[in-house]
């Protein structure tokens, strides 16, 4: 696949070709667990590296390999590995990066399970973390120690939508010979390709936007071969390989990724503007809004326009947590559910504090706006009383 071809073209064609045996258009689902050899000579040729050959699906599978080739192409990296969940990707990267101990500087705003892994699991293995505001370069530099091996960040953080300046982080990291690890789940390669800004390893929970349908679970790590191969070797030992069926579904989902991300972003920008002006809303977190404190940094990374800032919004209600019930219970079109990146709009109350996260879907905006507006109207009295 020509790297000069457009992103949408590569979403459809990269890593794929008609099946050489049957001519089937699109990657077949190779559900097989084991692969046969015709002779002992073929076995030896495979072991010596003279002739590649699939052997056992957890080690390598044709359908999964096509997905990995597609993701490496879209991210602009040397290679990629697909795993069975986003947390398998995150934990696999952290365990290999901090093998034998070491230190990582991490954003103070991260997905809660990533933070839990850093604080609860890694210390048992002799590794430790320092959490800082990655928007503050002085704080990042001050947190680096002789044991530091990496800087970890989310471009738009989950769930507060704080923005990390990836180019700046890469500069700080590389001047100290550290690697930059980026969880790009919220934006996908359709909106941001962190390797272009200097990131070394790019993680996705493929369950989210890469899938786009909420029906398949997976994770992906992209980067240089020298950093990916240790993750691949570890995944075999931990049993975290992606299933062929999941890879097959993800390949289909990625075909429409650019179109979906454009619509997600457009709907989210319009919804964030609506939320910003409603009396029941105290605060809206969306980097596409000019009022967002990191708007300029976000725009410098993803570009300007209503279709560049992704589909994720979080907000605080003027009525606080007492207003959560009236708001959520009044929703009819939107679904109260965890996860994100689905075609339908998902709304989730955070377990602590005054925060609600919205994963904006692909519905007609007028229908979405009507549903959210009526739900907000239902909790205005609570907001005023508070």
pLDDT of residue 4: 81
Question: Average pLDDT per run of 10 along the chain, which is 386 residues long?
Answer: 84 93 92 95 94 92 97 98 98 96 97 96 94 96 98 98 98 98 98 98 98 96 98 94 97 98 98 97 98 97 94 97 97 97 98 96 98 94 48
Q: What is the CATH architecture of 258-385? A: Alpha-Beta Complex (3.90)
pLDDT of 155: 98
Q: Do 258-385 and 7-254 have the same topology in CATH?
A: no
pLDDT, position 73: 98
- Which positions ≥6 away from 30 have C-beta within 8 Å? 57, 61, 62, 63, 244
Instruction: Decide: 168 and 298 in contact? Cβ < 8 Å.
Output: no
- Residue pair 249/216 in contact (Cβ under 8 Å)? The answer is yes
Q: Note the helical H segments in the chain.
A: 7-13, 40-48, 62-75, 86-97, 112-116, 137-143, 166-175, 188-191, 225-238, 244-254, 257-276, 295-302, 324-330, 365-378, 380-385
Query: Which pLDDT does position 20 carry in this prediction?
Result: 86
- Distance in angstroms (rounded) separating the CA atoms of residues 133 and 210: 28
In CATH, the number for domain 7-254 is 3.40.640.10
Q: Which three-class secondary structure state does DSSP give residue 127?
A: strand
Predicted TM-score (pTM) of the model is 0.95
In 3D space, the residue among 167, 174, 182 whose CA is nearest the CA of residue 149 turns out to be 174
Any idea where the domains of the chain sit in the sequence?
7-254, 258-385
pLDDT computed for residue 154 by the predictor: 98
pLDDT, position 385? 45
Rounded Cα gap, residues 59 and 53, in angstroms: 11
How high is the pLDDT of residue 382? Answer: 44
């Amino acid at each position: 696949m020509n790297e000069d071809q457009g992103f949408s073209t590569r979403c459809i064609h990269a890593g794929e070709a008609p099946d050489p045996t049957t001519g089937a258009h699109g990657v077949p689902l190779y559900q097989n667990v084991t692969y046969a050899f015709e002779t002992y000579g073929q076995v030896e040729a495979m072991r010596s590296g003279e002739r590649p050959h699939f052997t056992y699906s957890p080690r390598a599978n044709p359908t999964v390999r096509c997905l990995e080739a597609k993701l490496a192409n879209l991210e602009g990296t040397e290679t990629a590995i697909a795993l069975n969940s986003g947390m398998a990707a995150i934990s696999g990267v952290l365990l290999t990066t901090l093998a034998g101990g070491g230190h990582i500087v991490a954003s103070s705003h991260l997905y809660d399970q990533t933070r839990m892994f850093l604080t609860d699991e890694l210390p048992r293995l002799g590794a430790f973390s320092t959490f800082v505001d990655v928007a503050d370069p002085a704080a990042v530099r001050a947190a680096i120690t002789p044991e530091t091996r990496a800087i970890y960040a989310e471009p738009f953080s989950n769930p507060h939508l704080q923005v990390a300046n990836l180019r700046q982080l890469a500069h700080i990291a590389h001047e100290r010979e550290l690697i930059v690890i980026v969880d790009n789940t919220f934006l996908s390669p359709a909106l941001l390709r962190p390797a272009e800004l200097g990131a070394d390893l790019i993680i996705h929970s493929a369950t989210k936007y890469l899938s786009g349908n909420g029906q398949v679970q997976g994770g992906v790590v992209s980067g240089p071969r020298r950093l990916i191969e240790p993750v691949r070797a570890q995944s075999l030992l931990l049993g975290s390989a992606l299933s062929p069926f999941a890879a097959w579904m993800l390949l289909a989902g990625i075909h429409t990724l650019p179109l979906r991300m454009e619509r997600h972003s457009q709907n989210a920008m319009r919804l964030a503007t609506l939320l910003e002006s409603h009396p029941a809303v105290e605060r809206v977190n969306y980097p596409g809004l000019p009022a967002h404190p990191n708007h300029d940094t976000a725009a410098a990374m993803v570009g300007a326009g209503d279709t560049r800032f992704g589909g994720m919004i979080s907000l605080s209600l003027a009525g606080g947590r007492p207003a959560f019930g009236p708001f959520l219970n009044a929703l009819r079109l939107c679904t109260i559910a965890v996860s994100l990146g689905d075609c339908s709009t998902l709304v989730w109350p955070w377990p602590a504090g005054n925060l609600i996260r919205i994963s904006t879907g692909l519905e007609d905006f007028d229908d979405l706006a009507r549903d959210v507006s009526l739900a907000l109207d239902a909790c205005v009295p609570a907001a005023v009383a508070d």
